[in-house]
């Protein structure tokens, strides 16, 4: 063998040994690193298959129709005009592009992010005769613009110097100003629909949902903090306070109401459609803005949910006036709840519900829109799956909180199902009927902003390294900044505390004072310490002695009220 050949073989041998050493070292640090890398690349390809098809066949309109490779302007409603009869100058709001902005950043594609930002800066306008849904436009468009502006101006220098001069914030402020007339009602509760050009139209419907008027504070509050204009946060806060004042004596709210009279229309509610993001924005609003008011609202509402809606791992619906069960059904939107519970440290309850949702996913291959728990059967008409993200979202949060590799398996199963059942040549299609897997010609924008994002973050959370974000209900990240907090106490002296020992002195701590969002972001050396759930109320006496039930609190795991035994000790005696 020649000296040259021998040298080549030696070099190859060293490269192989070095590669094995790096692989083994990485595996010791994270035994699932290879799997995570493989799955994150798989999700990356999913996103770009959906995104590139939107850009090719539907942009600048709102959403893609992947079967026919056409488009739909889903956010707008221009009278009763059909799509082909819309004004020529109206090209949609580029909804799916706006929804994709933060996903592009999380995937590390700063070039495409910059290209999208510049295009929107030069072409997007809201001065159009379009009747839009306030809630949907707020969480999708306003939230997308505000989040993208923050990502474009942070210290990572994602955009070339001099190319961005707050254009997205200017657009967001313009949109926010067009929202304001919707709040001009006797109650302060906003109309569900508003015309971007002309405001509230004559004889506009006065019915709205609890989510519709109680889930505006993150986006509108962030807009006020960024622009210095308090009007946006003020109107959203006024609406939220009015809504909370309408709760029943049981601390429950209904689903729909009249914004002019302030009267409830639908008294039955749960944690699903029409109410879901109301609970979400109370706790996230507290984390983002540090308002104790939001925490007090949330804790009261959360305890009421656990008392009146919860049945084992499931949550049924109940009448806000009596607390009596009305509908025993699972809805796909409820799957966000375990993720919310992670934020408040209620991990055991979150895991319990999440496993039941995943069981239903496995049963059908995807999560049906509505499943009748009392009959163990699908709802006869709502058998569809529109590529919803909620189960993936809760899976991401639970993995961040526990690092249990089982959640990686869940994520892989979700990815495989989406690729097997919904991937088509023109993107990803919704499922019309989960019993036949018949497809529907619609790729919702939240598939780009949430479904792919949470699945990617499950396997690659490098975007979150040394960062602290709250994700809006549409998956748009907003940073938790001390400058946005009205006050940032070191500890919350509430009823849901436990003690964390330190070398200096004991400190009162809870899931909220520890700022779990998500739990994996805690780097204070107390990661292995127990943190009580939001529902936990300790017994009056440390030795658990009692005279009456009033001396007993709420159990931290089951969130059930403890009672006083004949022997004079608090416990879950009623369950024995």
Residue 436 labeled ligand binder: no
DSSP code for 333: G
Residue 443, SS3?
strand
Helix (H) or strand (E) holding 168: helix 167-179
CA 180 to chain centre: 25
Helix (H) or strand (E) holding 55: helix 33-57
Is 369 assigned a catalytic role? Answer: yes
List Cβ neighbours of 460 (8 Å cut-off, separation of 6 or more).
36, 37, 40
List Cβ neighbours of 165 (8 Å cut-off, separation of 6 or more).
none
Number of alpha carbons in the 13 Å side-chain half-sphere of residue 14: 6
The sign of the CA dihedral 183, 184, 189, 192 is negative
| Euclidean distance between CA atoms 203 and 206, whole angstroms | 9
Torsion of CA 354, 355, 357, 363, to 10 degrees: 160
| Euclidean distance between CA atoms 380 and 375, whole angstroms | 12
Asked if 379 and 552 count as a contact pair (C-beta separation under 8 A), the reply is no
Catalytic residue among 62, 99, 390, 412: 390
Catalytic residue among 233, 346, 369, 460: 369
Catalytic residue among 276, 450, 461, 474: 276
Give, in degrees to the nearest 5, the angle at Cα 378 between 376 and 379.
120
The β-bridge relationship of strands 131-133 and 193-195 is antiparallel
List Cβ neighbours of 515 (8 Å cut-off, separation of 6 or more).
287, 468, 480, 521, 522
| Euclidean distance between CA atoms 335 and 341, whole angstroms | 11
Show the 3-state SS of 511-570. Answer: CCCCCCCCHHHCCCCCCCCCCCCCCCECCCCCCCECCCHHHCCECCCCCCECEECCCCEE
The β-bridge relationship of strands 469-471 and 207-209 is unpaired
Catalytic residue among 114, 136, 207, 433: 136
Residue 184, SS3?
coil
Where residue 8 falls (left for φ over 0; alpha for ψ -120 to 50; beta otherwise) is alpha
Is 276 assigned a catalytic role? Answer: yes
| Euclidean distance between CA atoms 222 and 232, whole angstroms | 9
Nearest to 424 by CA among 410, 409, 408, 437: 437
Nearest to 346 by CA among 576, 516, 563: 516
Is 136 assigned a catalytic role? Answer: yes
φ and ψ at residue 432, rounded to 5 degrees: -80, -35
Other beta carbons within 10 Å of 171: 22
| Euclidean distance between CA atoms 116 and 264, whole angstroms | 42
What is the token pair recorded at 176?
């926010």
* Residues annotated within a binding site for Ca(2+): 473
Please give the annotated binding residues, written as ranges.
Answer: 473
Active site residues: 136, 276, 369, 390
């Amino acid at each position: 063998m020649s000296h040259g050949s021998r040298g080549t073989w030696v070099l190859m041998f060293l490269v192989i040994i070095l590669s094995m050493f790096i692989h083994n070292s990485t595996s010791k640090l994270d035994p699932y690193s290879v799997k995570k890398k493989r799955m994150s690349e798989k999700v990356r390809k999913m996103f770009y298959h959906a995104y590139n098809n939107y850009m090719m066949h539907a942009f600048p309109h709102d959403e893609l129709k992947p079967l026919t490779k056409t488009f739909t302007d889903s956010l707008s409603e221009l009278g009763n005009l059909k799509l082909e009869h819309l004004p020529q100058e109206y090209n949609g709001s580029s909804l799916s592009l706006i929804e994709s902005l933060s996903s592009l950043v999380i995937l590390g594609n700063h070039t495409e992010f910059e290209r999208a930002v510049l295009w929107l800066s030069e072409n997007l306008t809201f001065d159009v005769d379009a009747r839009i849904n306030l809630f949907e436009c707020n969480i999708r468009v306003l939230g997308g613009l505000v989040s993208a502006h923050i990502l474009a101006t942070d210290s990572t220098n994602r955009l070339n110097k001099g190319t961005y001069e707050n254009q997205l914030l200017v657009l967001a402020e313009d949109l926010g100003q067009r929202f304001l007339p919707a709040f001009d009602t006797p109650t302060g509760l906003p109309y569900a629909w508003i015309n971007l050009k002309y405001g509230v139209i004559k004889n506009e419907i006065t019915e709205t949902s609890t989510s519709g008027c109680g889930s505006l504070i993150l986006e509108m509050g962030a807009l006020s903090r960024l622009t210095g204009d308090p009007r946006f946060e003020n109107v959203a806060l006024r609406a939220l306070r009015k809504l909370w004042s309408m709760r029943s004596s049981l601390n429950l709210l209904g689903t729909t109401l009249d914004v002019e009279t302030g009267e409830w229309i639908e008294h039955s509610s749960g944690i699903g459609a029409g109410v879901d993001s109301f609970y979400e924005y109370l706790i996230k609003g507290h984390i983002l803005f540090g308002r104790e008011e939001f925490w007090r609202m949330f804790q009261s509402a959360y305890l009421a949910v656990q008392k009146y809606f919860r049945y084992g791992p499931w949550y049924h619906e109940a009448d806000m006036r009596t607390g009596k069960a009305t509908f025993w059904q699972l809805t796909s939107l409820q799957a966000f709840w375990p993720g919310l519970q992670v934020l408040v440290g209620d991990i055991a309850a979150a895991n319990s519900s999440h496993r039941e949702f995943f069981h239903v996913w496995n049963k059908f291959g995807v999560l049906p829109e509505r499943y009748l728990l009392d009959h163990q059967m699908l709802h006869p008409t709502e058998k569809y799956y529109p590529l919803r993200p909620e189960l993936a979202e809760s899976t991401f949060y639970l993995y961040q909180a526990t690092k249990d590799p089982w959640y990686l398996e869940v994520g892989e199963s979700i990815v495989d199902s989406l690729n097997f059942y919904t991937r088509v040549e023109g993107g990803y299609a919704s499922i019309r009927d989960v019993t036949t897997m018949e497809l529907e010609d619609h790729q919702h924008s939240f598939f780009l902003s949430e479904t792919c994002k949470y699945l990617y973050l499950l396997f690659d959370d490098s975007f979150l390294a040394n960062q602290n974000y709250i994700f809006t209900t549409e998956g748009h990240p907003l940073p938790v900044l001390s400058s946005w907090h009205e006050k940032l106490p070191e500890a919350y002296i509430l009823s849901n505390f436990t003690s964390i020992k330190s070398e200096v002195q004991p400190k009162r701590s809870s899931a909220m004072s520890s700022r779990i969002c998500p739990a994996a972001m805690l780097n204070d050396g107390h990661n292995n310490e127990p943190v009580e759930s939001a529902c936990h109320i300790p017994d009056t006496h440390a030795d658990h002695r009692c005279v009456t039930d009033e001396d007993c609190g709420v159990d931290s795991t089951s969130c059930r009220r403890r009672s006083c035994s004949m022997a004079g000790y608090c416990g879950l005696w009623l369950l024995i």
